[in-house]
Amino acid sequence: MKNNTWNIIKKECSRFFGDRTMVITTIIMPGLLIYLIYSMMGDFFMKQKENAAPTKVYVENLSDSLKPLLSTLPFEMITENLNGENLKSDLSKKEQDYIYMVFPDDFDSLVSISPSERTELAPNVQIYYNSTSDKSKEAYNVLSEVLGQWEDSNYNLFDINKIEKEGQVYDLASTEDVVRGLFSELIPFLLLMMIFSGCMSIVPTSIAGEKERGTLATLLVTPLKRSELALGKVLSVTFFTVLSGLSAFLGMMLSLPKLIHADEMGVDAAIYTTNDYVALLVIILCTVIILTSAASIISAKANSIKAASSLMLPFMLVILFIGLTPMMLETSDSSIALFLIPVYNSVQSMTQILGHEINIIPIILTVVSNFLYSVLCIWILTKMFNSERVMFSK
């Protein structure tokens, strides 16, 4: 009779791992789906970039002085046999993805006169485009930018970041830091959501489900201690949810580099050290246990799986809100006391670890406070298992 917590855990494991559907939907699917979706999205963006035909730019009176510059742009320049009126009306009628550009007849000679000696208005280059077409609009932006810069360089006062000698880098952040920054923004919240959805499908089945089917009552007439039951239940659902969370995490770590094309930047997922991963694992673990033990309380209150799921909805909104706050608050003015707020501290700690700025005190605070909250939840759950009003209300 000494180790009934372990008996409960063993039974929960037989139940969980013996149910193929359960294992597939909560452990295999999250990782696999994330991996497939992110990889496909990455490939899709890549293909779109590669397959896109260059935008057509119809140019009238192409200026000789601009010809070399414009030919370096990824556009198809068409300068012969142009019918200006047709081009303009077609461009306005349907969604068209080309550009129609008109230089004044004597553009080259006009621009050679310095502005102070000029007697007429400055020459005007007309660029017709259709803003409903992404390609046309983007080409317009590129062309006006290039022409503007060319104009500036003709009357140069000063330049910004113009000199590009070999090895000259102006953005001093390393590519790895850029990738880490991206990861630390994307992963914590996504992971939190994945863990929560795992928790949503695992905990109600295990607790509200047993209550609903009358199998919990069978346990309650045995000398099994309520505390052993509560601990056994929470530990086993925590274990399953951790597996679900790790699956999602693995899926993300393997597919995010593909999504953001990290290989083109010369970076792979090995930007993190073993220490980073261990710290992350610890944070994931204490995030899961606080979520599952809180969800256990909600499930024990509910009379059915369905009721438990709907009771969890407001809980989810709170988690969503707390989970989003680190993105809205500036990290620099976050006080250390904020690390006592469950879920917030998890997201914040994960952000720090993935962003490679591990501060040991906040992480310890996160782990210790979450552990204490979980103990409190398990204590409450024990009280609930002891309460006939909770267990046998109809």
Partner 1 sequence: MEQEQLICVEGVTKTFRLSRKQQKSENTLKKEIVAVNNLSFTANRGEIFGLLGPNGAGKTTTLRMLATLIAPDSGDAFIDGLSVVNTPEKVRAKIGFLTSELKLEDFFTPNYIYDFFSNLYGIDKEVAMARKKALFERFGIQKFAEVKIANLSTGMKQKSSLVVSLVHDPDIIIFDEPTNGLDVLTARTVTDYLQELRDAGKTIILSTHIFSLVEKLCDRVGIIINGQMTNCGTLAEICDGKSLEDRFFEIYKEKIGGQE
Q: Which residues bind partner 1 (CB under 8 A)?
A: 1-2, 4, 7, 11, 14-15, 18-19, 210, 213-215, 217-225, 388, 392, 394
For ligand ATP, give the closer residue by CB, 85 or 388: 388
Binding partner selected for residue 340 from partner 1, ligand ATP, none, CB under the kind-specific 5 to 8 Å limit: none
Q: Which residue is nearest to ligand ATP (CB)?
A: 394
Q: How far apart are CA 146 and CA 69, in angstroms?
A: 9
* Shortest reach from residue 382's CB to ligand ATP, in Å: 22
Q: Which residues contact 171 (CB under 8 A, 6 or more apart)?
A: none
Which of residues 214 and 266 has its CB atom nearest to partner 1 in the complex? 214
Residue 15 CB, nearest distance to partner 1 (Å)?
6
CA distances 239 to 198, 199, 284, 293, 352, Å, are 11, 10, 11, 12, 25
Nearer to ligand ATP, 333 or 388 (CB): 388
Question: Residue 18 binds which one of ligand ATP, partner 1, none, with CB within 5 to 8 A depending on kind?
Answer: partner 1
Other Cβ atoms within 10 Å of 70 Cβ, number: 18
Q: Given the complex with ligand ATP, which of 321 and 392 has the nearer CB atom? A: 392
* Residue 262 DSSP label: G
Q: Would you give the DSSP letter of residue 53?
A: P
| β 99-102/126-128 pair status | antiparallel
Supply the minimum distance, in Å, between the C-beta of residue 371 and partner 1: 28
Which residue's CB is nearer to ligand ATP, number 20 or number 394?
394
Binding track, positions 373-392, relative to ligand ATP; x by CB under 6 A: -------------------x
- Find, among 207, 387, 369, the residue nearest to 289 by Cα: 369
Residues that bind ligand ATP (CB under 6 A): 392, 394
